[in-house]
Amino acid sequence: MRQAWKGGALVPAPAKRVENLLAMRYLGGDDGPAPRLADLQPVDPRAFLDELLAATEALLLAGVVHGDLSAYNVLIHEDRPWFIDFSDGLRVDRLGSAPWMRLQLARETLTRDLEGLRAYFRKFEAGFDVAATAEGWIDRLQEQWELTHGRRRRPTPEGTPGGTPAPP
């Protein structure tokens, strides 16, 4: 959860860590805690699904696959989705010496997460292609990892000789 928070994903701010437990900032107001997505019905399910998918992709690009994503692990606070319960989370900011293995595990975990979201939104007739979405996001994650770890050269700007590195 800390990695997701540092990456700017919609997760409550970590408050305190004791061994393997992480306390998080309270999400809610004077009338009580923020409700779970499972306890609500979105006013515009399609628009909310799009926002939730964008937030899920941001979570992935911050270096975390949730691992247990469902309507029960998404809180709605200030009309935005917030992710909680990362007990099955998978860090993908460090792919290690065999990145293809970590990416395959990320693909499988992400697909399972997206299936959980699709199952919830199916009752509102708002769906999406899980396989295509997961594949596209994993490709972006791999590209991001290759660029930040020097495995691939950044493209050079137009008009720059081929051997000249692109400016940062």
pTM for the whole thing?
0.77
**Cα 20 from chain centroid (whole Å):** 21
The DSSP secondary-structure symbol of 166 reads P
Parallel, antiparallel or unpaired: strands 28-29 and 14-18: unpaired
Query: What's the pLDDT tens digit per position in 93-149?
Result: 766 666 777 788 899 999 999 999 999 999 999 989 999 999 999 999 888 877 776
List phi, psi (to 5°) of 71. -65, -15
Q: How confident is the model at residue 3 (pLDDT cuts 50, 70, 90)?
A: low
Whether the pLDDT of residue 163 is over 60: the answer is no
Give me the pLDDT at residue 95, please. Answer: 62
DSSP state of 38: G
Instruction: Give per-residue pLDDT as tens, 12-62.
Output: 777 766 776 666 777 888 899 999 999 999 999 999 999 999 999 999 988
**Residue 43 is encoded by which pair of tokens?**
């006013």
Task: Give the number of other Cβ atoms within 10 Å of residue 107's Cβ.
Answer: 20
